[in-house]
């Protein structure tokens, strides 16, 4: 296959999808990619340099901040501020969103608002298991002016203009969509370029793998137990295989390629689940639907959920359309 870089691929698709592109999205994607290359470099050295372990700080989520969480967050914030195309940032590691004002700048700030989980799967860093970065991009309305308002940040996933993730595994990959399907690019370290390796990704209609932390079974409600048992103890077929990495990006990437379903349900101690809507569930739901899959909180389509605050959590069932539909049917029948 001829080597197509992610920038060549973006420019070729933009010719047809957005002929009036100003290059600002290209600049934004470029700076995201540079950030990921820097994060990937440090992830690959994690055992050799002093970047393992915790910072001793607790973030707004009430979780221990790992050194690599903080490093990834600072790299992304620096580059998103520098690139000019971005007027606001929301991050898992920032209690409040960051607004970049045009006041006092030669160039007015660009129209893009980005949310990210700078490092997903932090608990896996110290044991050399795949981790990732998840991003979600919105665009301000043309007529908006002045600094970005809180309302402009809290938008349903349907309004995303792009979403994707980097996965730092045996190879480093970028998987993203601008609404014209999903494409995967693999970093070739010898030339430092992300090359098209998984064109036009589609989630199989159904799969033979389910992915859930079964340790929480005692804390699930009856409908959730029935939903998981549909895959774990099916009446009419061989049981599915259980695969659970504990890094959402790794579990979702496998689901994108092999099919099946990833489940992070609500439970008595986490009534809205654990995963965050703006920078985990919504971007992955955007990709899942672009690839022919589905994503729900059990009752509603993830992409239609209007957030009340940027760190809002949501239950998440995502993956092959047929498998997610089974969960929705159970929730409908039992609710």
Tell me the CA distances in angstroms from 316 to 120, 126, 137, 274, 280, one per residue in order.
15, 26, 20, 9, 10
**Kind of pairing between the strands at 183-188 and 172-177:** antiparallel
Regarding 70 and contact with Mn ion (CB under 5 A), the answer is: no
Tell me the CA distances in angstroms from 190 to 125, 187, 193, one per residue in order.
24, 9, 8
**What is the DSSP secondary-structure string of 167-187?**
EESSSEEEEEESSS--EEEEE
**Kind of pairing between the strands at 241-242 and 294-296:** unpaired
Sequence-ordered list of residues with C-beta below 8 angstroms from that of 327, at least 6 positions apart, any chain: 227, 230, 261, 263, 296, 298, 317
Of 26-34, 85-93, 138-146, 156-164, the window that binds Mn ion (rule: CB under 5 A) is 85-93
Select from Mn ion, ligand AHG, none the partner in contact with residue 274, using the beta carbon and a kind-dependent cut-off of 5 to 8 Å: ligand AHG
Select from ligand AHG, Mn ion, none the partner in contact with residue 247, using the beta carbon and a kind-dependent cut-off of 5 to 8 Å: ligand AHG
Q: Which residue's CB atom is positioned nearest to Mn ion?
A: 120
Exactly one of 122, 178, 224, 320 binds ligand AHG (CB under 6 A); which one? 122
Q: Which of residues 1-60 bind ligand AHG (CB under 6 A)?
A: none
Binding flags for Mn ion, 120-139, as an x/- string (CB under 5 A): x-------------------
**CB closer to ligand AHG out of 193 and 267:** 267
Binding flags for ligand AHG, 80-109, as an x/- string (CB under 6 A): ------------x-----------------
**CB closer to Mn ion out of 120 and 297:** 120
**CB closer to Mn ion out of 125 and 303:** 125
Exactly one of 92, 193, 267, 289 binds Mn ion (CB under 5 A); which one? 92
**CB closer to ligand AHG out of 24 and 64:** 64
Q: How far apart are CA 32 and CA 37, in angstroms?
A: 9
Tell me the CA distances in angstroms from 186 to 1, 153, 183, one per residue in order.
13, 31, 10
How far is C-alpha 255 from the chain's CA centre? 13
Give the count of residues interacting with ligand AHG (CB under 6 A): 11
Exactly one of 40, 177, 186, 247 binds ligand AHG (CB under 6 A); which one? 247
Q: Which of residues 184-243 bind ligand AHG (CB under 6 A)?
A: 213
**What is the DSSP secondary-structure string of 60-101?**
TTS-EEEHHHHHHHHHHHHHHHHHSSEEEEEETT-SS-EE--
Tell me the CA distances in angstroms from 204 to 198, 219, 285, one per residue in order.
14, 30, 15
The dihedral built from the CA positions of residue 306, 284, 182 and 188, taken in this order, carries a sign that is positive
Please list the residues that pair with 135 across neighbouring strands: 116, 164
Regarding 117 and contact with ligand AHG (CB under 6 A), the answer is: yes
Q: How far apart are CA 15 and CA 279, in angstroms?
A: 28
* Distance in Å, CB of 280 to ligand AHG, minimum: 7
Of 113-121, 150-158, 179-187, 316-324, the window that binds Mn ion (rule: CB under 5 A) is 113-121
Of 43-51, 113-121, 165-173, 218-226, the window that binds ligand AHG (rule: CB under 6 A) is 113-121
Of 5-13, 142-150, 228-236, 246-254, the window that binds ligand AHG (rule: CB under 6 A) is 246-254
Which residues of this protein are in contact with Mn ion, per CB under 5 A?
A: 92, 117, 119-120
Where does this chain bind ligand AHG (CB under 6 A)?
63, 92, 117, 120-122, 213, 246-248, 274
């Amino acid at each position: 296959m001829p080597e197509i870089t992610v920038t060549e691929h973006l420019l070729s698709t933009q010719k047809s999808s957005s002929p009036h592109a100003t290059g600002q999205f290209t600049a934004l994607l470029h700076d995201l990619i540079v950030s990921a290359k820097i994060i990937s470099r440090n992830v690959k050295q994690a055992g050799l340099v002093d970047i393992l372990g915790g910072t001793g700080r607790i973030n707004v989520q009430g979780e221990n901040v790992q050194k690599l969480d903080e490093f990834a967050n600072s790299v992304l914030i620096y580059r998103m501020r520098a690139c000019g195309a971005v007027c606001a940032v929301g991050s898992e590691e920032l209690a409040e969103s960051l607004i970049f004002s045009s006041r006092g700048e030669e160039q007015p700030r660009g129209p893009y608002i980005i949310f990210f989980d700078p490092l997903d799967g932090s608990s896996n860093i110290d044991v050399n298991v795949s981790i990732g970065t998840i991003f979600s991009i919105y665009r301000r309305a043309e007529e908006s002016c002045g600094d970005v308002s809180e309302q402009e940040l809290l938008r349903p996933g349907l309004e995303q203009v792009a979403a994707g993730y980097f996965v730092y595994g045996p190879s480093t990959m970028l998987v993203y969509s601008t609404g014209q399907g999903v494409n995967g690019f693999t970093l070739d370290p010898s030339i430092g370029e992300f090359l098209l390796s998984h064109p036009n990704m589609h989630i199989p209609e159904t799969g033979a793998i389910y992915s859930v932390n079964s340790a929480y079974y005692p804390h699930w409600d009856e409908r959730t137990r029935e939903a998981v048992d549909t895959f774990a103890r099916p009446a009419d077929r061989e049981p599915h295989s259980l695969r659970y990495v504990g890094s959402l990006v790794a579990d979702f990437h496998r689901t994108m390629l092999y099919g099946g379903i990833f489940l992070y349900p609500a439970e008595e101690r986490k009534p809205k689940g654990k995963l965050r809507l703006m920078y985990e569930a919504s971007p992955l739901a955007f990709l899942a639907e672009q690839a022919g899959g589905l994503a729900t909180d059990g009752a509603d389509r993830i992409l239609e959920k209007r957030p009340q605050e940027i760190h809002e959590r949501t239950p998440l069932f995502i993956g092959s359309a047929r498998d997610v539909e089974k969960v929705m049917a159970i929730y409908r029948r039992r609710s």
